[in-house]
Amino acid sequence: FPRQPDRVAIVTGGTDGIGYSTAKHLARLGMHVIIAGNNDSKAKQVVSKIKEETLNDKVEFLFCDLASMMSIREFVRKFKMKKIPLHVLVNNAGVMMVPQRKTRDGFEEHFGLNYLGHFLLTNLLLDTLRESGSPGHSARVVTVSSATHYVAELNMDDLQSSACYSAHAAYAQSKLALVLFTYHLQRLLAAEGSHVTANVVDPGVVHTDLYQHVFWGTRLVMKLFSWLLFKTPDEGAWTSIYAAVTPELEGVGGRYLYNEKETTSLHVTYNQKLQQQLWSKSCDMTGVLDVTL
């Protein structure tokens, strides 16, 4: 990939797993990388390690708890105080198959953190992304979904999974919502003619700490056969990096990418009415102005 010395990226969840690998590789390309995460204790070590490995001093950490709308707004306020552009936003952070519990704002955690947190963060940063993109050098929003979205259902009457909680179903629904969000965001950006694109990526099955909440037998199988069945975090990050920097995707949005290639997402994700309904409901939940009404 071409070097990116004058571009700025934010990577959520950049202290661990795929997010760490994404931040590291973007830094290696010369980007100014801001890691957004809630692991304060690990941040200093991670930033030092990336700086050392990439010989890039433009790597920093800003606290952002995606399970708290107040924390997200504070993160955006601090970022904007830096008076720097934003060319790439990688919505990577997430939780997987956690027990039933709520975010600080009262949302089911998968839906609230994986989806709503990134919905709010992206919307609050859109003005900076628009100002930073230019003809031939678009700003990019890259959102990490998962193949689990193929088995998900979006229950518009119970987005919080309160009627019947299943950790797997709640996780899958949050990843489905991210695909719908990306497609609708791309339509909005294209309609206004801004130089910002939005794509969604599927990293594949990657061996990371996200699996800490799955059944112990599954973890044992993972430990024994991870070399055969699972990608490494570096391999899992590759499609995110591709979407963030490849010249092939200049000006191209609304794509679902797997192994650096466009593929088809679940058929319901192309339903524009459902995209709009989810967007409007998300605006209500996060206090974002719904410009599509």
Name the E strands within the chain.
8-12, 32-37, 59-63, 88-91, 139-144, 196-202, 256-258, 261-263
Cα–Cα distance for residue pair 161/154, rounded to 1 Å: 10
**Helices 40-54 & 17-28 angle (0-180, nearest 10):** 30
Q: 75: how many CB neighbours lie within 10 A of its CB?
A: 24
Q: Which two tokens stand for residue 155?
A: 């229950």
Query: Is position 171 annotated as part of the catalytic site?
Result: yes
Say which of 20, 115, 150, 171 is annotated catalytic: 171
Query: Residues with Cβ < 8 Å from 42, sequence gap 6 or more?
Result: 15, 16
How far, in Å, are 51, 210, 274, 277 from residue 180 at the CA level? 35, 23, 8, 10
Show which residues are catalytic: 171
